[in-house]
Structure 1
Amino acid sequence: MQAIEIYTSPLCGYCHAAKRMLADKGVSFTEYDVARAPDKRQEMLSRANGRHTVPQIFIGETHVGGYDDMAALERSGKLDPLLQG
């Protein structure tokens, strides 16, 4: 299973949806709350090529993008293989 990292903020509905999707798949992830940790926001901006909205999701070395991007991978059947590595 690939390491999963997700940058979030507490009041973000898309963040909650992304975490719920991952939890429903039974995968664990590391969450970084960018509202409480400005250094993590800077890290996210750097890793996500300047994308500043949350969530920003990383599976292994792959930058998935936001919730809509991950949901599109799920609909196309590409999310599970990515999670497996």
Structure 2
Amino acid sequence: MPSIEIYTSPTCGYCHAAKRLLAQKGVTYSEVDVARQPERRVEMVQRANGRRTVPQIFIGGKHVGGCDDLYALDSAGKLDPLLAA
């Protein structure tokens, strides 16, 4: 199973929705709270090709986007193969 990283903030509803979907898939992930670690936001923006909003999600080191992108991958049947790789 690839490593999953998600940059979040505690008051972000999209972050909670993305984490909920990952939990439903039964996968573990590492979470970076950019509200508690603001210095990590610069890292997130660089890794996410300039995207500044949370969540930003990485699967196996590859940027897959935010919450809407994660749900779109799932709807297209592409999320499970990514998580199984």
With structure 2 as the length reference, what TM-score do the two structures score?
Answer: 0.97
Q: Percent identity?
A: 69
Aligned to 1:62: 62
Give the Å deviation of 1:61: 2.1
Aligned to 2:2: 2
Q: Which runs of 4+ in 1 moved over 3 A?
A: none
Unaligned 5+ segments in structure 2 are: none
Once the two structures are superposed, residues 45-72 of structure 1 have per-residue CA deviations (whole angstroms, 9 ceiling, x without a partner) of 1100110000000000210100000000
Unaligned 5+ segments in structure 1 are: none
| Number of corresponding residues | 85
With structure 1 as the length reference, what TM-score do the two structures score?
Answer: 0.97
Taking the aligned partners of 1:48 and 1:35, their CA distance within structure 2 comes to 17
**Does the 8 A contact of 2:7 with 2:55 survive in 1?**
yes
Specify the SS of the correspondent of 1:58: strand
